Amino acid sequence: MPLDHYITLGRSGLRVSPFALGAMTFGEDPGGAGCSVEESDKILATYLDLGGNFIDTANFYTNGHSEKILGDFFAARPGRRERVVLASKFFTNLFPGDPNGGGAGRTSIHAQLDHTLRRLQTDYLDLYWLHNWDRHTPIEETLRTLDDLVRAGKIRYIGFSNTPAWVTAQAQTTALLKGWTPLIALQVEYSLLARTVEGELAPLARDQGMALVPWSPLKNGFLSGKYRRDIPVTDSGRTAFVGGPDEDEFVVIDAVAAVADELGTTAAAVALAWLRAREGTVVPILGARRVEHLETNLAGLDVVLTPEHRHLLDEVSAPTLNYPAQLHGALRAMLQFAGTTVDGATSTVYPPLTQSDVRY
């Protein structure tokens, strides 16, 4: 499946590639965790030349340099910006000492968007994400501001990232009742090593027709294939930044490696293929510091996991979810269906009883 086999992003008419390109690593400041302007341009050109069209950044990535690199790239290539879905995020305050420099209030959203558009050298964003929940701002103020920006043509669609499910549900309900622009996607941490999103946010997204756009789909590189038991990782800077897998994570990593060996592909491709096979619309974000990283990860488009492989990976990575999630699976079916089959869910009788045991 190539990058130019597009899918609609949630309940919208926005067509995007099955993998987004994350620009968090574009630029070498701060801390040297990213890549040079030259390498960033190569990664971006490779992604676009292969048919990719969905690019994701944020106002604070590499202190704004990520947005600037993207803006310079498209300014030097007239006509290319209009062919991509360009997304950025607001929330982070880049102005020390100014309490209104960040967050999700009306004043700060307008200011942050103006700075972002200036760095990107564009008149509009295709998708604007709330990067984090601002508990100090009423959600209706954030939503009304974003709706005004949609009506003004400065942004086209909106989404939330890293926001609790109850806040997201409140926001979506408010937007729908008031006729404001609804959310079409949620950007969340999601991978074989980070599945707690399945407790609340993923079901909410499916119910409301929102796409999931996972960040860190390889869990800081743990699922890339380079982390193996008793084999030291040579990237000392990366290891110092993210640490290393623990024993529980190695159990999952081992299973992913075994499936990759069976299929003759990479661990990264298997981990990404598993994500894309999840229920609903799931569009993982690929991050890369070198062109080779991007090319390796794109193999995830060609991998088709068997039901047996999916079951194995599901089981070995099964998350422990917060209450009341554990009451919504097999136990719910036993308590509700009393030994019958409803909507494909078959249950046993619990507690063991017959009709004559019931006291009326």
Residue 343 binned pLDDT confidence (cut-offs 50, 70, 90): confident
Please identify every residue annotated as catalytic.
61
Query: Is the domain defined by 7-319 classed in CATH 3.20.20.100?
Result: yes
Q: What is the residue extent of each domain of the chain?
A: 7-319, 329-360
Q: Write the pLDDT tens digit of every residue in 144-190.
A: 999 999 999 999 999 999 999 999 999 999 999 999 999 999 999 99
Output the six-digit token pair for 21.
């390109």
The answer to whether the predicted template modeling score (pTM) of the entire model surpasses 0.75 is yes
Which single residue is written with the structure tokens 């080779």? Answer: 292
Tens-digit pLDDT profile for residues 277-333? 999 999 999 999 999 999 999 999 999 999 999 999 999 999 999 888 877 766 666
Radius of gyration of the chain (CA): 22
* Cβ count near 79 (within 10 Å): 7
Please check whether residue 285 is in contact with residue 214, taking contact to mean a CB–CB distance below 8 angstroms: yes
Dist. CA 183–CA 245, nearest whole Å: 34
Burial of 319 (0-12, 13-18, 19+ CB in 10 A): middle
How confident is the model over 237-292, as pLDDT tens digits? 455 455 788 899 999 999 999 999 999 999 999 999 999 999 999 999 999 999 99
